[in-house]
Structure 1
Amino acid sequence: MSATEFYLLREELTKWVGSLNDSSLLNLLNSIKLSRGTATGDWWDYLNDKERKNITLGLKDLEEGNTLTSNEFWKALESHE
C-alpha cells in the first residue's frame, strides 16, 4: 500500500467511524484499539458479555460444521436480492 493509499484509507475509515451509531460495533473497535495499544491483558477481557457470547456461538457453529464458504455465502446473498 502506497503512502497516498494509506492516508486515503485512514481518512475514509475516520469518517466512517465518526458516523457510526452502533454501540456494539464501536465497542468492538475499541477492543481492537485497546489490544493494539498499551493495554495489558487479553483482548477477551475487554469484550462485553454479548460480544463474548457471539464469539462463543460462532466457535460452536464452526465446531459443528455450521459454516459456509465465501462462495456459498455470496451465492446465497445473491439469491435473496
Structure 2
Amino acid sequence: MEADIQNIKIELIQWLTTLDDLSIIQKIQDLRKRNTSDWWDELTEDERNSIEKGLSDAKEGKLVSQQEARKVYGKWL
C-alpha cells in the first residue's frame, strides 16, 4: 500500500514538471492551500475574539489557578 502511494506521488511529480498550463498549476496550488489551511481561518469571528481576549488577559496576568477554577466551576466539571 505504501509503495503504491509513493509510486502515485512520483508519477504526479513527473507529470507536474511537464505542465505548461498555468490554469492547471493554479488549480493544484488552490487545492494545496485548501488542504493546508490554518485552523484559525476555520474559526468564527466570535471564537477568534474569545481566544485573542484570553491571550490578552494572560499577558496582563489576569489568570486564575486551576484550584481556584475548580472551586468556582467544580459542580459543572
TM bracket (short chain):
0.3 to 0.5
Larger Rg: 2
Greater relative CO (CA pairs within 8 A, separation 6+): 1
TM normalised by structure 1 equals 0.45
